[in-house]
Structure 1
Amino acid sequence: MRHTDFVRAALTVILAACCQPAFAKCGGVDYSWGADGLAKAHDFVITILLYVVYVCYAVAGIVSVIASLQIYFKINAGEEGWKKEIMMVVGAILFIIGATVV
C-alpha cells in the first residue's frame, strides 16, 4: 500500500466519522415557524422584484430620451442610417419592457 492510498483511506474514515453527528442534528430542528418565514421571504422577494421593474422602466425611459435626441441630431445633420437607429431603439425598449414582464 502506498502512502497516498493510506492517507486517502484515513481521511475517508475520519470524514465518515465526523459526518455522523451532523446527520444526528437534522431531526432536532423546529419547523413550526416555517409558514411565517416562507410568507416573509415571499413578500421580500416580491417587493424587491417591483423595485427592479421600476428601475428597468426608468432605464428604458432614459435610453429612449437619449436615443431620440441622437436620432434627431442625425436627421438634422443629413446623415444616413437614422431609420436603422430608430428600429434599434424601439427594439431595445421593447426588450427591456418585455423582460420586466417575463
Structure 2
Amino acid sequence: MSKTKKIVCALCCLIPSAAFAKSGGVNYSWGADALATMHDFVVTNMLYVLYICYAVASVFVVVSALQIYIKWNTGEQDIVKSILSLVGACLFIIGASIVFPAFFGYRI
C-alpha cells in the first residue's frame, strides 16, 4: 500500500469518530421555540383556510342552486342527482370543518 492510501484510510477512520464525539454536547433548546412558533403559524393559517373553504363552498352552493332551478324550470330529468350532489358537498364541507381540525387535536 502506498503512503497516500494509508493517510486516506486513516482520515476516513477518524472523521466519523469526531462527528460522533460532538453529538452529546449539542444544545437542542432552540428547537422548542421554533416548534412553538410553527404551531402558532399553523393554527392561525388553519382558521384562514377554513374561512376560504367556507367562501368557496358558498359560491358552489349558489351556482349549484341556480343550476337546479334552471333544470327544474326546463324540465330536465336529472334534478335529483344535482340535488344530491349539492347536499353531499354541503355535508362534506361541514364535516371537514369539524373532523379535520379534530383529527389534529384542535378546536376551532
Shorter-chain TM-score above 0.5: yes
**Contact 1:57 1:96 (C-alpha < 8 Å) held by counterparts:** yes
Structure 1 pair 43/72, CA: closer, same or farther in 2 (3 Å)? same
Between the two proteins, the alignment pairs up a number of residues equal to 89
Percentage identity across aligned positions?
A: 57
What is residue 63 of structure 2 aligned with on the other side? 66
What is residue 39 of structure 1 aligned with on the other side? 36
**Contact 1:60 1:97 (C-alpha < 8 Å) held by counterparts:** no
Instruction: Point out which structure has higher relative CO (alpha carbons under 8 A, 6+ apart).
Output: 1
| Unpaired segments ≥5 residues, structure 1 | 1-14
Q: Which amino acid aligns with 2:30?
A: W
What is the TM-score normalised by the length of structure 2? Answer: 0.67
**Contact 1:56 1:97 (C-alpha < 8 Å) held by counterparts:** no
| Unpaired segments ≥5 residues, structure 2 | 1-11, 100-108
What is the TM-score normalised by the length of structure 1? Answer: 0.70
Structure 1 pair 17/83, CA: closer, same or farther in 2 (3 Å)? farther
The structural deviation recorded for 1:69 is 0.9
Supply the distance in 2 between the matched residues of 1:19 and 1:87 (Cα, whole angstroms): 63
Q: Which amino acid aligns with 1:98?
A: G
Structure 1 pair 16/49, CA: closer, same or farther in 2 (3 Å)? farther
Over the aligned positions, Cα root-mean-square deviation in angstroms equals 2.4
Supply the distance in 1 between the matched residues of 2:73 and 2:29 (Cα, whole angstroms): 68
